[in-house]
Amino acid sequence: MTPKKTILALSAHTDDAELGMGATLARYAESGHVIYYAAFTQAPSRHGHDPKKELFKAASALGLPKNRVILHNFERRQFNNSRQEILQIMCDLEKQLYPTMVFVPSRSDTHQDHEVISREAFRAFKYYSILGYELPWNTIAFESQAFMSLDRKDVNKKIKAIKAYQSQNEKPYAQPDFIESWARMRGATIGERYAETFEVIRLIMEL
């Protein structure tokens, strides 16, 4: 029997990790692994929608329990002014969780908040496996070094999770056809129908 992993997904804003690796999170959850999701601020509120409620609805669609979803509320686009506080939160998570794998925005992500999460996570979790997820609208170059093969049901769960963010549903990258096409393109890279891809920041190999 495969031992359970403890997976930690770090997201600058609510919806980042769902977009970058939602289907992978769904697959890990269905396989019985323990998943924690930490977002450091809410996505912008639009049209009267509550980003916090959207986050928990999206997490539920992926199979993540509410008690393992953590939400902070740092000021958007100002994470650089709170680096030390963000780092301390991550160091506290490291002591509490001892995660098997940590997922963060890619190191090539140009969004200023994403960059802070990725860089500070390396400091907090440098003795752990760290992989960067892909948000192609924010990256100049992305090294697709690791892949998760996916089923249609995993992609459907990701689409459902993204739909939960009704405040963001006008974005081109939130559309179901884009999400499916993105997964199919990455799947074709490894001869599978669907996949998500990751940048290897640090990989601790185990027997």
In-domain check, residue 185: yes
In-domain check, residue 207: no
User: What confidence score (pLDDT) does residue 127 get?
Assistant: 97
SS3 state of residue 95? helix
Full domain range(s) for residue 139: 6-202
Give tens-digit pLDDT for 46-86. Answer: 677 888 999 999 999 999 999 999 999 999 999 999 999 99
Count up the domains in the chain and report the number: 1
Going by the DSSP 8-state scheme, the letter that residue 8 receives in this structure is E
In-domain check, residue 16: yes
In-domain check, residue 62: yes
Give tens-digit pLDDT for 177-192. Answer: 999 999 999 999 999 9
| Cα distance between residue 27 and residue 24, in whole Å | 5
pTM of the model: 0.96
Give tens-digit pLDDT for 28-52. Answer: 999 999 999 999 998 766 677 888 9
User: What confidence score (pLDDT) does residue 42 get?
Assistant: 86
User: What confidence score (pLDDT) does residue 207 get?
Assistant: 76
In-domain check, residue 1: no
pLDDT reading at 4 higher than 70: yes
C-alpha distances in angstroms, 19 versus 93, 97, 162?
23, 24, 7
| Cα distance between residue 50 and residue 44, in whole Å | 9
User: What confidence score (pLDDT) does residue 50 get?
Assistant: 87
User: What confidence score (pLDDT) does residue 102 get?
Assistant: 98
| Cα distance between residue 60 and residue 120, in whole Å | 27
| CATH classification of the domain holding 67 | 3.40.50.10320
